[in-house]
Amino acid sequence: MCESKVYIVDEAGAHQVMDNVTQIQRENGVYLLVNLLGEQKLIRGQVTRINLLDHTVYLERIPETRTYSRDSLAPS
């Protein structure tokens, strides 16, 4: 399988935010992550590293980063 893990990197280190990611799309300044089961998350940040061999994507936090649900755009 070719799914990826997505991590947010901040001062404390790398924290996994989603596993089995099959789609990443930038939308209105945030990244839409979709996993194998169709679950979705919106993450504000910028891509700092993609490792295709390890199937990992790293996003760096930007000020006032929050995780949003796509339906409500309210912090979850």
Convert the pLDDT of each residue in 30-62 to its tens digit: 899 999 999 999 999 899 999 999 999 999 977
- Flag whether 27 is in a domain: yes
Which pair of tokens denotes residue 63? 């000020």
Instruction: Give kind and range of the element (H or E) at residue 16.
Output: strand 13-27
Query: Does 76 have pLDDT greater than 70?
Result: no
Q: Which residue has the tokens 């979709």?
A: 34
- Flag whether 74 is in a domain: no
Mean of all residue pLDDT scores within the chain: 87
With CA atoms as reference, report the closest residue to 30 among 54, 2, 64, 5: 64
- Flag whether 12 is in a domain: yes
Counting the structural domains of the chain, the total is 1
- Flag whether 44 is in a domain: yes
Boundaries of domain holding 34: 4-68
- Flag whether 43 is in a domain: yes
pTM of the complete model: 0.77
Cα distances from 11 to residues 52, 60, 61, in angstroms, run 24, 10, 9
* Confidence bin at 65 (pLDDT 50/70/90): very low
| Percent of the chain as helix, strand, coil, to the nearest 5 | 0, 60, 40
